[in-house]
Amino acid sequence: MFGYTQEHGKIITIERHILEEQSFHPEATGTLTSILYDLALAGKFISSNTSRGGLAKILGSTDEFNIQGERVMKLDRLADETIYRLNDHTGRMAALASEEHAEILPIPEKYPRGRYVLLYDPLDGSSNIDFNTSIGTIFAIYRRKSENGPGTLEDCLQPGRDLVVAGYMLYSASTMLVYTTGSGVHGFTLDPGIGEFLLTHNDIRIPDTPRYYSVNQGHEHYWSEGVRRFTHYLQGFDSEDSTMSMRYIGSLVGDFHRTLLSGGIFYYPADRQDRSRPHGKLRLAYEAAPLAFIMEQAGGYASDGQQNILDIQPQSLHQRTPLFIGNRELVQKAEEFIQRHDET
Ligand code: AFP
């Protein structure tokens, strides 16, 4: 009746939901539950600041550039520090890695180290901030591989297949947190009045009938023949049946979230625009792998055009990858076009 959840009219907070999920795993110590709770808290903090943007004088950019060569926005910095500071002292993390930093972020010596590593993109789509358009945070949690001591680079360089938790926060008309621990995808909406994330989207499945395709078509000129022909296929050039509408925000979390709920495909292919990044713009560890894990849990699929994103072993923290993500048949269709028309 109040629209919070379809689940027998119950109002379910994220805390209760996480605890209920934990009860299905008798071996669980509660550590992951606490990490998720801290991430939800980070989401509330970042959301509160993004919604006060102009008022809090935190819109705009600093004079610095991050490891990706992008200008650091003030809110980026704030989101980055919030997530680090909520996780550096809890004894749950062996190390962290942020899209904003070249190297892994160690846990200070004075604090205990834990069993997990957290990789995060603190504020994705930040070039949209000043235009009041949706932005997001993406997070990925793995079990450490090293036995003890400080977490290592190797702990952070794991294929998406080994993810323990993946999720994102979307700061938009409302703030949402969506996550999976490998048993379904669940979405929560922040009720700003009470400061709680409440379950609004239980067990999300990507709809079977795709609705939109999503790509920066302004780059078509730089695409391969396979990607161009695939796009024409979506536009119905091959058969009227497959005509699809296009939507593109330019903010990955927003574009992904719409694709997840509406069905369709989002892609950011490799292109020839910038020779320094022949594999496209998106980052494997911070963006593609966690979103691929969520998409697969929701019944979809993600590929780099040739192979499942989840099977790619990252070689470096900031490695980039082409990404095709959404309904399985569409992503496989993209693979087919690429295989048929592009040289490998
Ligand atoms: P910014 O964080 O610089 O805004 O980049 C956002 C992003 O990494 C991702 O969120 C978008 O999907 C993609 O870039 C948009 O890139 P284009 O502007 O080239 O379409």
Tens of pLDDT along the chain (344 residues) come to 444 555 556 889 998 998 888 887 777 788 988 999 999 999 999 998 887 765 555 555 666 666 666 655 678 888 999 999 999 999 999 999 999 999 999 999 999 999 999 999 999 988 888 788 899 999 999 999 999 899 999 999 999 999 999 999 999 999 999 999 999 999 999 999 999 999 999 999 999 999 999 999 999 999 999 999 999 999 998 776 668 999 999 999 999 999 999 999 999 999 888 777 788 899 999 999 999 999 999 999 999 999 999 999 999 999 999 999 999 999 999 999 999 999 76
Ligand 1 atom closest to Cα of residue 251: 10
Measured CA distances, 276 to 68, 178, 270, 281 (Å) = 11, 33, 11, 10
Nearest to 311 by CA among 162, 157, 116, 120: 162
HSE, side-chain direction, 13 A CA sphere, residue 238: 11
Q: From CA 172, how far away is CA 134, in angstroms rounded?
A: 5
Which residue puts its alpha carbon closest to atom 1 of ligand 1?
Answer: 125
Query: Does residue 114 contact residue 92 with C-beta atoms inside 8 Å?
Result: yes
> Given the DSSP bridges, would you call strands 165-171 and 71-73 parallel, antiparallel or unpaired?
unpaired
Which residue puts its alpha carbon closest to atom 17 of ligand 1?
Answer: 250
Q: From CA 39, how far away is CA 164, in angstroms rounded?
A: 14
Nearest to 158 by CA among 109, 104, 122, 107: 104
Q: Is 137 in the pocket of ligand 1 (CB under 6 A)?
A: no
Which residue puts its alpha carbon closest to atom 12 of ligand 1?
Answer: 252
Q: Which of 127, 248, 321 to mutate to test the pocket of ligand 1 (most atoms within 8 A of CB)?
A: 127
Query: Does residue 256 contact residue 266 with C-beta atoms inside 8 Å?
Result: yes
CA of 95 to the centre of ligand 1 (A): 26
- SS3 at position 179: strand
Confidence (pLDDT) at 58? 55
Q: Is 262 in the pocket of ligand 1 (CB under 6 A)?
A: no
Q: From CA 344, how far away is CA 340, in angstroms rounded?
A: 10
DSSP code of residue 70: P
Q: Which single residue is written with the structure tokens 């999503």?
A: 214
Ligand 1 atom closest to Cα of residue 128: 4
- SS3 at position 222: helix
Measured CA distances, 168 to 16, 174, 246, 285, 314 (Å) = 19, 14, 23, 14, 20
Ligand 1 atom closest to Cα of residue 68: 3
Confidence (pLDDT) at 68? 62
CB contact set of 298 (below 8 Å; sequence gap of 6+)? 180, 185, 204, 205, 206, 260
Ligand 1 atom closest to Cα of residue 76: 2
- SS3 at position 295: helix
Q: Is 92 in the pocket of ligand 1 (CB under 6 A)?
A: no
Relative orientation angle of helices 225-234 and 328-341, to the nearest 10 degrees: 140
Confidence (pLDDT) at 252? 98
> Given the DSSP bridges, would you call strands 245-246 and 212-214 parallel, antiparallel or unpaired?
parallel
Q: Judging by beta carbons within 10 Å of its beta carbon (0-12, 13-18, 19+), is residue 276 exposed, middle or buried?
A: exposed
Q: Is 49 in the pocket of ligand 1 (CB under 6 A)?
A: no
Q: Is 133 in the pocket of ligand 1 (CB under 6 A)?
A: no
Q: Which of 59, 99, 124 to mutate to test the pocket of ligand 1 (most atoms within 8 A of CB)?
A: 124
- SS3 at position 96: strand
Q: From CA 147, how far away is CA 124, in angstroms rounded?
A: 32
Q: Is 127 in the pocket of ligand 1 (CB under 6 A)?
A: yes
CA of 250 to the centre of ligand 1 (A): 5
CA of 22 to the centre of ligand 1 (A): 35
Tokens matching residue 22: 């934990």
Q: Is 252 in the pocket of ligand 1 (CB under 6 A)?
A: yes
Q: Is 250 in the pocket of ligand 1 (CB under 6 A)?
A: yes
Q: Which of 59, 133, 221, 281 to mutate to test the pocket of ligand 1 (most atoms within 8 A of CB)?
A: 281
Confidence (pLDDT) at 1? 41
Confidence (pLDDT) at 2? 47
Ligand 1 atom closest to Cα of residue 283: 8
Question: What kind and span of H or E run contains 212?
Answer: strand 212-214
Which residue puts its alpha carbon closest to atom 2 of ligand 1?
Answer: 125
CA-based radius of gyration for the chain = 20
> Given the DSSP bridges, would you call strands 61-65 and 71-73 parallel, antiparallel or unpaired?
antiparallel
